[in-house]
Chain A
Amino acid sequence: MEKKLYSITAIYSYPNDIIRAAKTVRDAGYKKFDVHTPYPIHGLDGAMGLKETKLGFVTLAAAIVGAAGMISFASWVAVVDYPQVIGGKPYWSWPAFVPVTYEIAVLLAVLGTVGAMIAFFFKFPNISHPLHDTPYMKKVSADKFGVSIQADDEQFDEKKVRELLKSAGGEVEAVYYSEEFLTFKPQTFDPKFIVLLAGIALATSAGGYLYFNKVLYLPPFDWMMMQPKVNPQTMSEFYADGFGMRLPVAGTVARGFIPYPYALGAKADSVGKFLVNPLLPTKTTLDLGKKKYFTYCSPCHGNFGNGDSRMNGQFPNPPTLHSDKVRTWPDGAIFHTITVGQNVMPSYQYQISREERWAIVNYIRTLQRAYNAKESDLQ
C-alpha cells in the first residue's frame, strides 16, 4: 500500500504556545494549515487569521423562512381553513401568533445551522480524514495542542516546515495516509443496512401497537357518561313510539300546575279582564318581579321598559311599555301577553312560572307609575 505525505504536524503543551505557533505559521504565509485543540481557545481564530464564518447567514435565512412560514401558516389556519371566533377577537389576531412564530423561527434557525454545518462544512457523508486514527489526533483530543501544515500548500517544503515548527518550540512529526483510507465509503447507504433499519422500525412499531392497543387495552372509563337512562332529546328503546320524553296522560294535571285556558290567538284586552292578579305589590313580590324582569324582559324592552333594546339591533325593538294602551290594560292583559307572546315576542310560559309572571306584572306597574308620577307621589 502506497503511503503519501499528508502533513507535518507539531505538538505543543500550552495554549499560549499554540497561539504563538499559529501566528508564526500564518506570518510565514502558509494557507493550508489547521490547529487542533481539546477545547476552544479564545483568540485562536484571530491568531490563525481565519475569515469570519458565513454560517450566520444560514441561520438568518432559516430564521426568516421559519418566521414567515409560521405566520402565514397560522394566518391561513385562523382565517381561511378553520375560522373560529375566539374571545370575541377578529380572525386575524396577530399577537396570538407571535409566540409560535418566534419559536418556529428559533427552531428552524437551530436546525438549519446544524444541518448546514454538517452538510457544507463537514462535507457529510464523507467521514474520513487523513488525521484520523493517528497518534497526533489522540494527543490533541486529550491534553495537547497541535498544528498541522498540509503537504498540498503552495509553498510547502518539508525541511522548511519542520524547521519553522521546531523553532516555535513544537514536537514535530509527519503524518502519512493511503488513498484507500480516504476513499473508504461509509456503509450507511448499503441496501442491506437500510433493509435492516426498516425491519427494526417496522417490528418495534408493530410490537408497540399490539402491546399498547391489544395486550394492555383497557376500556375507557365512561360509566358515568353512559348510564342506562333516557337523556333529554334522545330516543327511547323502551316505549313503542320511540319518544324518550313523555306527554302527560289525557285528563290529568300535574301537581302545582294550573293549565292556561286561553289560546295563542286570543286578544290580550279581551281575555285580560277574566284574569285577576293574585299577588299584592309587596316588597317581596316587587323584588322578585324586578329580578325576573331584568333577566327575561329587559334585553328587548330595556331596563326601564322604554323599548330601548340592549340587543344592538339584532332583534326589532318592541314598543314602549309606557304607552296609554299598556297603562290602561288590566293586569290580566299583560299576564296573557307574557304567557302566550305577541307578534315576534315568543311565549314565556315555560321559562317563567305563573307566580313570577304576576310578579313581573306588578313590577311593570311600578315602572309605569314611576314614569307618570302624580304630584301626590312626590310627597
Chain B
Amino acid sequence: MRLFTAVRWFFRILFKGDAAFAELPGAAPKPVFTGSTEPAVQLLGLLQKEGRLLDFLNEEIDGYGDAEIGAAVRDIHRGCRRVLDKHFQLRPVLEEAEGAAVTLPEDFDPSAVELYGDAGNSGPRKGTVRHRGWYAEETKLPTIPESADPKVAAPAQVEVAS
C-alpha cells in the first residue's frame, strides 16, 4: 500500500508539480503560478515597462532633432535589451561569421535559412552568410497574477492626492 501511494504521488508530482500538493487533505492549497493567456501583450508590456517602447513607437518624432532622439534611445535600448536578456535565450541560427562561406545541406530548413540569389533546386548549396539569423533557444516569460487582466500592456499611472 505504501509503495502504491509513493508511486502514485511520484507521478502526481511529476505531472502536476507543486500543484499536486494542493490535493493533500488538510494542507492549505499552495498558490498556482500561471503564464499570461496573452503572451504577445505581455511581451509588449515588458518592453514598455523596462524600455518605454510603446510610448516611443507611438510618439511623433518628426519634430525632434537626432540628438534628442539619440539621448532617449539610449535608455530605451538599455531597457529593451534587459527584457531580451532576461526572458529569451537567443543565439544565431548559423554559427559562421557574417561574410564567411557556408555549405547548406540538401535538407536544410527553409524556415531557418532564407536563400537569396540563385536558389538552385537540389543538392548541397554553397553560399556566403549575409545575416546569421536569430534563434530563440528558450523563452521564459514571467507568470502573472491570476486576477490580472491579460490585455493590459501597461497600466495607467495615477498619482493619488493625499
User: Do A and B actually bind?
Assistant: no
Interface of B toward A, CB cutoff 8 Å:
none
